Amino acid sequence: MNISIPETFGYSVLGMAVVFLMLILLMVIIIAMGKSAKNKAAAKKAPVQAQAPVQQAPAAQAPAVSKPAPGTCGTLNLRAVEPRTAALIMAIVADEMGVPLNELRFISIKKI
């Protein structure tokens, strides 16, 4: 079987076209799967819940150890989180909820 030079050129162009078409198809599939996974992750993401500060009755015997600053709502337990990161998280939660930061009470922030 003898194949002429124009035929070999045609076969090579056809082969390269098939490879590029398959690469484009693969790219479209990967992009579609990425968007689908992003939508599923956004749907599963539960809204962050924060507690509003609870008004407590003054204690009968208040310890005179150290007085917290005015407007504080207790202590915050940071677990493997830097204070700067915790402050950013608290600001983002307050912004997303549309509530002033001083009306929220964060009990604990833990790195997952």
CA angle 8, 13, 16 (to 5 degrees): 125
In terms of C-beta density within 10 A (0-12 exposed, 13-18 middle, 19 or more buried), how is residue 8 classed?
exposed
Structural domain for 102, as ranges: 77-110
pLDDT band at 42 (very low <50, low <70, confident <90, very high): confident
pLDDT of residue 18: 98
Higher pLDDT, 45 or 98: 98
> Is residue 37 in some structural domain?
yes
What would the pLDDT profile of 48-93 be if each residue is shown by its tens digit? 555 555 555 555 554 555 665 566 666 778 888 888 988 888 889 8
pLDDT of residue 66: 61
> Is residue 52 in some structural domain?
no
- pTM, two decimal places: 0.37
> How many domains would you assign to the chain?
2
pLDDT of residue 65: 52
Q: Which of 81, 66, 73 is nearest to 51 (CA)?
A: 73
> Is residue 91 in some structural domain?
yes
pLDDT of residue 13: 97
